[in-house]
Structure 1
Amino acid sequence: MAFPIEQQSHHCTLEVTALLNSPASVKLHYRVRNNTDQILFLFNRFWTSINANGEYQVQPNMVNVQASSARVVVSKAVVAVPEDMEVEKHYTPCLSRLGPHDTYEETLEIPVPLVPFTWYQAPWNIPAAGTEQLALRPLYFELGYLVVSPEREAIITQVATSQEPAYFWATEPEDQLLVGAGPLLPSIEVLL
């Protein structure tokens, strides 16, 4: 049985539970509650493409996976472009709107071992087949969000997705706020 870990920021409360669903996946459930009278937008609707009709192809189980020697962080957030890489613009996930004192929750199923991934992970940064190393790291979760005024909300675009409607606002990683929780599991397999 998994117990939720709760973390509170100035604007919201994040509650996260992780459970090894099988040897091949981890089920991660998060709930975020807006503790303010303001509107929050969550950077949680990762998309892979935009079809000919302008519909964002949202993939609910897609997440950033960033590993260090101390831990592995699964996140739904805007990630910085690596210093050695140039891009036309940042990849920004679509957004979920969270009204004052509202709650949003989502359950993800993520394959194990976790494989490091961000939208900027270039093929030359991926280990050649057979050279990967399996490591155990504590599991953490982070969620990126924005706090917006009614005036700013008016310029955030609602977009069609392959799921329910979402919103889009291109932003820089430093413009988001992060809330995180962990360790959710004392160790999980990650491919390095």
Structure 2
Amino acid sequence: MTSAAHALLRGSLLIVLLAGGMVWTSCDLASGGNTVILNANSPIEPIVQHRFEYKGEDVVDGTVTVESEVQSDDLDAILSRNGFSRRDVINARVDSVEIINPAPSLREADVFLGTDAEGPLIAQIVSFPDDVPSVVDDTSTPVLEAVRNDEVRTLYGRFGLESAGDGAVQAKVYYRLKVEGV
């Protein structure tokens, strides 16, 4: 074998070793040992859809407060489908909240994780432009304690309205969950 062939062979082996090392390191760092990240790019995404319905008589001084109803799999079902439970969650964030098809008179929204305004504020939208199908608050909010609390399954919304009347607001909550126990 010529010296050029030896150099080419050594160079090829070096590239294979470096590439293999990078793949091994990436997997190790991404997995964190025995952890997994569930987010909007996961096969079973941790996205929960909610609906807030209210009656005109519930509107006081242009504001209505209402608890949501889950309109999709809840967080427990999503975790279970991924092979985990709430007790496996070691880090939790709400990456964003999308308010969909806002009521025509909706002017502002505060959304809390839980059954009242004592829960973490996960979305705060101060303006809804006309003719926009949805508005996103992409402020990342830590919510580990609320997610690990088995009682938290709903949202609490406080909505400022232009006018009173019956209405509904929908929200999609995009979670980023780090779970262990893989």
Q: Which has the higher helix share?
A: 2
More strand by share: 1
TM-score, length-normalised on structure 2?
0.34
